[in-house]
A and B are shown apart, each in its own frame.
Chain A
Amino acid sequence: MTNISRRTLLAAGAGAGLLTACGSNTGRGGDGTGPGPKLSQWYHQYGEAGTERAVQRYAAAYRKAHVSVQWRPGNYDQQTAAALLTDAGPDVFEVNGPTLDQIRAGQVVDLTDLLQGVKDDFNPAVLTPKTYDGKIWAIPQTVDMQLLYYRKSLLADAGVRPPTTLDALVDAAGKLTTSKVKGLFLGNDGGAGVLGGTPLYAAGLQLVTEDGRVGFDDPAAARTLGKLHRLYADKSLLLGAPADWSDPSAFLQGLTAMQWSGLWALPQVQKELGDDFGVLPFPPDGPHGRPSVPVGAYGAAVSARSGHREAAREYVKWLWVERTDYQQDFALSYGFHIPARISLAHRAARLRSGAAAEAVRLTTEHGQAQPLLWTPASQSAYQDALSRIIKSGASPDSELRDVVRKVSAELDRVKKKP
């Protein structure tokens, strides 16, 4: 308990900017210097205030090694991918993956034994994509999910009920569109990037089947994706907003009545709009449809090029398996993420009421993570096709035929043993 109150105090102080000097000191030398080897740990830049100082605090508290934290703005995925090719990369790093090819090329270290005894406490939706060949290659840090925010008052004014099918969403977006406000914001590219496979899951399909084949070689796929073009053709979509989908600004500034965004935006939306908003999953479509929300997780991984692999593994175990107090602090004290540990998610008071509770329910019941076999090459082929379907009105049937061909070839490639 004293532990928690000290942490709260620190966080409060850091927020007020009083402990700037202290915060930056603890990240490097001084009392943070452990007796063991020097480890470097990379994080991508989180948007929420206080996160950087928090992770430096965790690192400084580790006694068996001297951990220096690097906070990296910019294209983090590209940076780590390049750094992993050299010896100058990080020892421990968070990764939106690792990708299948990173695992197959032996760039990350097997972490299976770190989870011994607690494996079942990790949310299976995000642990599965970190598992290949029965081994675990990264420890999920927190669960992120995306969902549809809508403005209750605007829907009521237009006489529109919160949409529960894709057709209803298309109609609602049309009715909510006026000369000043657009109906729906799916990102400045019209939705191809952020939606990804979500509409396919909502049609009862999937990206890759359990036995590793294309999961959307089905006429229902073309039907569902074709409906997204109607949103664009009806001019109900907000496009070219100054801040993209991941930022709730467009929604908060009243540029759009509904916006697809992340759970991380919830505190800000709640603060600015109070009760005047609700959240929804991507609505189902067709006879086999089901609601769908995408989930994902940054995971902590250890580089195979690290000079201190054992020490790095021990540190990961300490931070992301043993120190549940830090894990909870990381997930909930700064931004808004669901802890990857089921036991922690149940305990978190902030997740028990209102829209947050609804988001947790959607994650548990309808969460779909991108499968590991869905490689970047498959993703870009599919995303190009989706963009052409939505924005250029290309025929969904012929576009999807091409994608199925490319994805099958890619799946054949990765099924071969490296």
Chain B
Amino acid sequence: MRLAACAAALLVALALVAYPLTLTDGVWAWWLALTILVTVVAAILLRSHFLVAASAASIVSLYALTLAATEEVEPFMAVIGLGILWLLELLDLAVATEGPVERDLLKRRAAWTIIVSLAGGIVALMAQAAGELVDAAHPLLFVAAVACAVAALALISSLAFRAAAGEGSDPV
């Protein structure tokens, strides 16, 4: 459960930091992106809620600085917001989970993850369509969407595998 959440969180974080790098040429953005990834890894390893908050704040800062550096209007911010929400949920799962988790609860969390990822996908497609309309679509958005889908798939299959193997103990 925790491992699946960690892997998914890393993929989502990677997708979130990849997009702003395409909007700016500044070296600072690369350094900030690297720092964010290190912070995410540290939050998972140290099970630190403070580092989770620091990771999310760094991502928001990255986007704020990117927006400040460019004059163009960004139409995909709702998708990015959902991505940050998803990242925070995954990190909360990775940091706060202690001890065994019952099968029914695993299924519920998996369902919640599916709903969030579906919502993210729908919003991404809508933004992409809007972007095509205004001729502002970006290929990296697809990369981010694919990364999110892979992360969701990894999490769901891991949860399903654990539930089938009885690792999410069902003591009833």
Q: Do A and B make up one complex?
A: no
B binding-site residues for A, Cβ under 8 Å: none
A binding-site residues for B, Cβ under 8 Å: none
